[in-house]
Structures are given as C-alpha cells and as structure tokens.
Structure 1
Amino acid sequence: MAGRVGPGGRPKGVKAAGLALVGALLLGAGAAGWAYWHLNGNIRSVDIDGALGDDRPARPVAVPSASPSASPVPTGALNILVLGSDSRGGEENQELGGGDSEGARSDTAMVVHLDAGRTTATVVSIPRDTLVDRPSCPLPSGGSTLAASGAMFNTAYALGGPVCAVKTVETLTGVRMDHYVEIDFSGFAELVDALGGVTVTTDVDIDDDRSHLRLDAGTHHLDGTEALGLARTRYGLAGGSDLARIELQQKLVKALLEQVSTTDLLTDPVRLYQVADAASGSLTTDTGLDSLGQLTSLGRSLGGLSADDVRTVTMPVVSAPWDVNRVVAQQPQAADLWESLR
C-alpha cells in the first residue's frame, strides 16, 4: 500500500466557521445567564496534563513578538488532538450503528496544527489500523496499562481513554499535544442536524450494512445519521480500506465547513443556540478548553485563518510486512511530516 501525503482540497469558509463558532459560544454569555450556565455545563473534561506530568515532548519555545499587541487573543503555534469516539454503549448510539458492546473506540484521529500567528493550519489524519508502540499509561482508578509493541493505534483509547490516546500520539509523533478534543458518536449526528444537514459529493457508490449507508455516486444532502454513516463507512468501499474512509472523512470535514460558512448563524439566534448546544453537548476536552471562555478565546484566535492556508494530509503509511490488513508509519516520510509540525 503506497503511503500518501499530499494536500487535500482547500476548505472554503474556514474563517467564517471560526467566527460562527465564536458567535455560538458567545451566545450564552450575551443572551442570558441560564443559557451560559447550560452550555458551559455541557462540556466534559479530562485532566490530561495532570495525568501525564512532565513525561512528554517539550513545548516549543515561544518567540516574543517584535510588536506586542494589546489583544488578549493567543497567537502561538498549537497542536490539538481531535478524536471521533465510536461509542458502543447506550441505546441512542446503538441505534446509530454503535453495536451492542460496551466501551468506545477512537475510530477517527486527527492532529490539528495551527502555525504561529494562527494564519495557516495542517490537519493530519492517523489511520486507526496503524500498528504502533503503545506506551504504558496511567489509569484514573490507579495503576497503569501495559506497554505493547505492534499494537493497533485505536486500542490506546479503548484501554486507557483520552490520557492514553494523547500519550500514544505523542510517542508516535514526538509532538506535544497542547489540547484534546473528542466528539462522540451520537453528538456528531445531532450537530449536523442542528446545522440543517450537509451536502457531500461522493465519487463512488457506497453500500455499507455496518454503517447503514447506501448512496449512489454523486451529490447528496445528508442528515446527521447519514453524515455519521459516511464518516464511519469502510466496508462499503473498495477493499474496505481505512485510507479510503479517511478520504471520505476529510471530504466531510470540508463540507461541514462549507455548511457553517453558508448558514447565517449569527443572525439566527434559535439556530445559533441549537448548534452551540449540540456542539458543546458532544464535546470532551482537556481542562485547558473546558469552558466557554477558553473555547471562545480559541475561536477568536482563528479569525485570521485563511481557507487557502489550510491543508489536509494523511500520515504516510505502508502495509505492515507481517499483516497485510494493518499499516505502519512510512519512514522517513512520517518523521519528516511530524518534524514540520514541531
């Protein structure tokens, strides 16, 4: 399997999406105290820094600005691990194709790198089937998970939750994850519905019993359940490739940005609140992003991000020599990619 690294299409409306996010988050603070309390209380968090301590890649050294600004908006480089959690438990998740078992898996993993100044960004997808050296991770209940060599990437989250997912990514990449954001299985569908659906063009027919999705090649306006099916589709694609699924996921991300940019959220308070409620209710973050104020600050810092400076890539991989159904990082290409994000 050839490793693939290359820019995807440039998502339009990224700046508008950032502004809409700010508006959604500010709704609670500006409209009514109860709304702020409700939205703020929606967000769940995990203390990643406290759990991992200093046994992590170093933070990059910040370069002082030659002309300090009075604006409190942060502008430094930032790396955010974004996971899509395929929850297996709960009636609602099971109805959406989550299955009948307990626990959850990180079936979608993206490292979002914001360059200094927050005017360019790179989104790197990590295939879930990548075999990695999974480190020992601390558990909330005490003790730790066992380290393992040649473990599938998404087992880190299944065994040790967000803390182990972050530590495994940092071990794989050598890059410090400044923040962690997780969106859950059913929450994603609710967010898409709150936005009024999303329009996506597929190049191939999709027929996947596991994700409950059947689409002819072409352009479709999807509701939340269908969009979630598209994000999860794998076995309905030629060869059942995780890399093919990543291509669909990246296309869906761009389509969602288009939808946000064309939806007049800032002048529609009802829709704005629905989107803010769905977004905040589906999130788990690290403790550095677990309030509306912190998320608003992040959103404001993206106000200067140009769509032409955002690219999507996939970590370069090749088939594992001992297992054709798994992949390993392709070197030195993968190392070069992560080095560029430090």
Structure 2
Amino acid sequence: MTGHDKNGDEDRRSGRRSRALKAAGLTLAGALVLGIAAAGWAYWHLDNNIKSVDIDNALGDDRPAKAVVTPSASASATASPLPTEALNILVLGSDSRSGRANRELGGGDSSGARSDTAMVVHIDAGRTRATVVSIPRDTLVTRPSCPLPSGGSTAVAYGSMFNSAYSVGGPVCAVKTVESVTGVRMDHYIEIDFSGFAKLVNALGGVTVTTGQDIDDDMSHLHLAAGTHRLDGKRALALARTRHGIGDGSDLGRIGLQQKLVKALLEQIASTDLLTDPARLYRVADAVTAGLTTDTGLDSLEELMSLGRSLKGLSSDNVRTVMMPVVTAPSDHNRVVAREPAASELWESLR
C-alpha cells in the first residue's frame, strides 16, 4: 500500500470519527434541550395546578394583628435566608363536589362544598416544633359578617355551625371565622380536596396507621380490625372521614383518627427520600398541587418550596396534635361549644 493510500484511509477514518462526534454532540444537545423543555413544562404544570384566593385583600385590616418579626443577626448576614418566624396556617380539607374524582370519593352532587376538616397549624419560631389544633366542625360559633366574591356581605350568624362559614363564604369566610373565634391571625391558608388527598397518599406509596379499636363504618365504607394497616389513598381518606364506626359517632372521635393520620403522613414523607427518586417526587408534587387552594402568599411552586425548606428541621416527633377544648352545647346535645377558659388559653399560647 502506498503512502498516498494510507493517508486516504486515515482521512476517511478521521471523517467518520468527526461525523460520529457531531452526531453524538447533536444527540446530547437534543437530549439536553428536551430535558430542559420537560423540566420547564413540569414546573409550569405544577405551578399552574395551584388555585389561590386573595384573602388579605378581601379581609383588609379588620383582622388580628400580625406577629412582629425581628430578623436575627445570622439571618441578616445570609443572602437569601429561610424564614424562621412563627407561623399560623389554617388547613382545611374540603368535600368539594367539583370533578368526577371528588364525586367518586364521596364528594356528593355537582355543586357546593363544606370544610370537612379544619386544623390550625402553629409553627413555633425557629420552625422545629409545631402544634396542630383541630376545630370540630360541629362547634357552634358566632359567624362574623363575611365579604362575598359577588359583592356585599353575609349577615352575622349566632349559634351557627363552624363549617357553615366555608359553605356560605368560601375560604375568606372560613379564615375570618377562625380569626374571630381564636383571636389568632392566620398567616396562610391551605385547602386540599378529596381527590388531592387520596392522590398524595398514593404517590407516597400509602400510609401506615395503627388503630386501637375496630372500625366498622358503612357511611365511609371503611371496615378495619384493630391493629396496624397500610392504607392506600381511598382507604386513608375513608379513615379521615370515619365518624359513625367509632366512639359515640360524633365528630370528636373522627378528629382523633385525623390526628393519627397527620402524624403518619409526616412520618411517611420523612421516610421517603424523594430527592433520589425524581419520578416519585414529581408524582407527589403533582398530587399535592392538583387538589390545592392557597392564599396568594403561597400560590406558586417557589413559595411552597420555600415554606417546605424552612420546615426541614421539623420532625413528626415534634408535632403536637390537640383538639380545641369543647363541651356539649346546652341548646343541642349533638353540637359542641368552646370550653372556657381552656379554649382561650390555648389560642393565647399560639399568638
């Protein structure tokens, strides 16, 4: 073979290598572009899942005072410090009737909704401890006048069931009623519907709950023997809604089950390393945001992520669950009223 032939072979091999490298580069660039586009679409999708209500604007200044926040020296030295001040969040579980998924899970007909579960979540300064206070939905309260989205306002209602506030005036009236009853400013509002809750539990792979007694409730379609159970989303939701199969059939027995479920969910989230499983992380984020309504201070993925990061030091062991102290209402043995002075003392501790 001549030197000329050798040079030709080398040129051809060099050309093939060059084309192969170009093809690989184009493939890598294409994959990178697709990856960035997919990530961008996922962020946009999750961000647009979230529904919000401008509660601050609707209620104006007729509210309990905000806690005064004094930034620490270490925080001021950090470029973007995570918030560490105390926080009060009203968390509602609603039996929304909107959408087929909610109706199939027990939401009822095609219109209307009630606050099926109400919890005031108080996060201590430093965000390493929290108190979750459940408010029985059958509590009789004075429901304040609430602004309506269509204009005008509702009338003050005396001796009204607590969960009627959401029915007549939505999230704005729910927040105003809670603030009126407790004297505590709600910094944020979070609402999750039936479908969103069930999807969250399923995305986490289920939740483990231990019950101390048999549950036999035809209304919630839940039948469990006493003991430890791994529940999927549908059965976890049924547990949260169970009231007729335990105790005296009142809302008070159900609150105990809901508080068990809250602790179990926190433990499940803590034990699931979502950062090493992007697919599951996306499913969890999609489940959370799809059934979520917040105030405008939490209505973006960035704001929710900031809240989540600020709670990284909060473990389920440092979450205390209690119920607002109540007694049977003198006017109706099927209803309750706040037990004083215990109820006022509890709310005072959260201000």
TM-score (norm 2): 0.86
Aligned with residue 67 of structure 2, among 41, 49, 60: 60
Cα distance, 1:119–1:297 mapped onto 2, change above 3 Å: same
Alignment of 1:237 onto 2:240: no
Deviates more, 1:201-210 or 1:326-335: 201-210
How is 1:1-342 mapped onto 2 (pairs within 5 angstroms)?
32-67=39-74, 68-70=76-78, 71-100=80-109, 102-342=111-351
CA contact (8 A) 1:85 1:185 kept: yes
How many angstroms does 1:214 deviate by? 1.0
Which amino acid in structure 1 is aligned with residue 215 of structure 2? I
CA contact (8 A) 1:119 1:305 kept: yes
CA contact (8 A) 2:95 2:106 kept: no
Deviates more, 1:50-59 or 1:31-40: 31-40
Q: CA RMSD in A?
A: 1.7
Which amino acid in structure 2 is aligned with residue 97 of structure 1? G
2:121 match: secondary structure? strand
Matched residues in 1 for 2:36 and 2:142: separation?
44
Cα distance, 1:308–1:154 mapped onto 2, change above 3 Å: same
Q: Select the structure that is richer in helix.
A: 2
Q: Count residues with an aligned counterpart.
A: 315
Matched residues in 1 for 2:317 and 2:57: separation?
37
Matched residues in 1 for 2:56 and 2:98: separation?
27
Using CA pairs under 8 Å that are at least 6 residues apart, name the structure with larger relative contact order, 1 or 2: 1
Q: Greater Rg, structure 1 or structure 2?
A: 2
Could you tell me the percent identity over the aligned residues?
A: 77
Cα distance, 1:223–1:308 mapped onto 2, change above 3 Å: closer
Question: Any stretches of 5+ residues in structure 2 without a counterpart?
Answer: 1-34
How many angstroms does 1:164 deviate by? 0.2
CA contact (8 A) 1:82 1:182 kept: yes
How many angstroms does 1:309 deviate by? 2.8
Which amino acid in structure 2 is aligned with residue 322 of structure 1? S
CA contact (8 A) 2:266 2:315 kept: no
1:158 match: secondary structure? helix
Question: Any stretches of 5+ residues in structure 1 without a counterpart?
Answer: 1-27
Matched residues in 1 for 2:270 and 2:317: separation?
15
CA contact (8 A) 1:97 1:212 kept: no
Matched residues in 2 for 1:41 and 1:29: separation?
18
How many angstroms does 1:280 deviate by? 0.8
TM-score (norm 1): 0.89
Matched residues in 1 for 2:62 and 2:143: separation?
15
Matched residues in 1 for 2:36 and 2:321: separation?
33
